[in-house]
Chain A
Amino acid sequence: MLNRATGEGDGASRPAALSMTGIVKSFAGVRALKGVDLHLRGGEVHALLGENGAGKSTLMKIMFGIVQPDEGVISLDPVGSVEIGGPRDALAMGIGLVSQELSLVPQLDVAQNIFLGRTKGLRIVPRGDFRQEARKILDDLAPHLKTDSTVSSLGMADRQLVEISRTLARGGRIIAFDEPTSSLTPAEQEGLFAVIRRLKAAGKAIVYISHRMSEIRAIADQVTILRDGDVVAVGPIRDYSEARLNELIAGRELSREMGGEKPAPVQGKPVLRLGQLSTARVRAVDLTVGAGEIVGLSGLVGSGRSAILRACFGVDAVTAGMIEIDGRPVKVETPADAMQAGLALIPEDRRGHAIVPMMDVERNFGLGNYGRFSSYGIIKGGERRRIIRRYVEEMRIRPPRIGAEMRNLSGGNQQKVVIARWLATGARVFLFDEPTRGIDVGAKAEIYALLRRLAADGAGLVVVSSELPELLLLCHRIGIVSGGRLTHIVANDASLTEERLIELASREDAP
Chain B
Amino acid sequence: MTDQTTLPRPDTAEGKATKAARSGDMLRNASVAIGCVALFVVFSALNATFYQPSNLIDIMLQSSINAVIAVGMTLVIMTKGIDLSVGSVVGLSSMVAADMLSHGLLAGIGAGLLVGLVCGALNGVLIAKLRLPDFIVTLGTLSIFRGAALIYTDGQPIYGLPPEFRAIFAGRILDIPTPVILALVIAAVAFLLVRFTALGEQIIAIGGNEEAAKLSGINIERVKITVYVVSGVLSSIAGFVLIARIGAAEPIGGSGFELQAIGSAVIGGASLFGGVGNPLGSLIGALTLGGLQNGLTLMNVPSFWQYVASGVVVILAVFADQWTRQRG
A359 within 8 A of B: yes
What chain A residues lie within 8 Å of B23 (beta carbons)?
A: none
What chain B residues lie within 8 Å of A404 (beta carbons)?
A: 14, 18
B7 near A367 (CB under 8 angstroms)? no
Among candidates A27, A179, A405, A466, residue contacting B21 with C-beta atoms closer than 8 Å: A405
Chain B residue at minimal CB-CB distance from A54: B3
Among candidates A101, A339, A374, residue contacting B217 with C-beta atoms closer than 8 Å: A339
Nearest Cβ distance between residue A419 and chain B, in whole angstroms? 13
What chain B residues lie within 8 Å of A56 (beta carbons)?
A: 3
What chain B residues lie within 8 Å of A439 (beta carbons)?
A: 8
CA distance A315 to B275 in the complex (A): 23
What chain B residues lie within 8 Å of A251 (beta carbons)?
A: none
A408 near B21 (CB under 8 angstroms)? yes
A99 within 8 A of B: yes
B204 within 8 A of A: yes
Q: Give the residues from 167 to 202 in chain B that come closer than 8 angstroms, CB to CB, to chain A.
A: 196-199, 201-202
Chain B residue at minimal CB-CB distance from A398: B11
CA distance A404 to B21 in the complex (A): 10
A368 near B2 (CB under 8 angstroms)? no
CA distance A55 to B199 in the complex (A): 40
A378 near B196 (CB under 8 angstroms)? yes
A411 within 8 A of B: yes
Nearest Cβ distance between residue A325 and chain B, in whole angstroms? 15
B198 near A354 (CB under 8 angstroms)? no
A21 within 8 A of B: no
B6 near A411 (CB under 8 angstroms)? yes
Residue-by-residue, is B139-180 near A (CB-CB < 8 Å gives 1, otherwise 0)? 000000000000000000000000000000000000000000
A335 near B217 (CB under 8 angstroms)? yes
A466 near B7 (CB under 8 angstroms)? no
Among candidates A334, A356, A408, residue contacting B208 with C-beta atoms closer than 8 Å: A356
What chain B residues lie within 8 Å of A409 (beta carbons)?
A: 9, 14
Nearest Cβ distance between residue B173 and chain A, in whole angstroms? 29
Given known pairs A29-B16, A357-B208, the reply for A438 and B4 (CB within 8 Å) is yes
Given known pairs A377-B199, A408-B17, A408-B18, the reply for A356 and B204 (CB within 8 Å) is yes
A430 within 8 A of B: no
Given known pairs A179-B3, A358-B275, A399-B15, the reply for A379 and B214 (CB within 8 Å) is no
A356 near B218 (CB under 8 angstroms)? no
Nearest Cβ distance between residue A148 and chain B, in whole angstroms? 30
A351 near B6 (CB under 8 angstroms)? yes
Among candidates A315, A410, A425, residue contacting B8 with C-beta atoms closer than 8 Å: A410
Chain A residue at minimal CB-CB distance from B274: A358
Among candidates A313, A357, A374, A443, residue contacting B215 with C-beta atoms closer than 8 Å: A313
B201 near A366 (CB under 8 angstroms)? yes
- Could you list 6 further interchain pairs (A-B, Cβ under 8 angstroms) beyond the known A363-B205, A408-B21, A437-B4? A99-B2, A178-B2, A336-B218, A338-B217, A358-B275, A443-B8
Hey, which bits of chain B sit against chain A, CB under 8 A?
A: 1-11, 13-18, 21, 196-199, 201-202, 204-205, 208-209, 211-219, 275-276
Hey, which bits of chain A sit against chain B, CB under 8 A?
A: 27-30, 32, 52-58, 99-101, 178-179, 182, 209, 211, 301, 313, 315, 334-336, 338-340, 345, 347, 351-359, 363, 366-370, 373-374, 377-379, 381, 398-399, 401, 404-405, 407-412, 421, 425, 434, 437-440, 443, 466
Between A and B, 24 residue pairs with Cβ closer than 8 Å are A29-B13, A30-B7, A30-B10, A52-B3, A53-B8, A100-B1, A338-B217, A353-B209, A354-B215, A355-B209, A355-B212, A368-B213, A368-B217, A378-B196, A379-B197, A381-B196, A398-B14, A399-B18, A408-B21, A410-B8, A410-B11, A438-B4, A438-B8, A466-B1
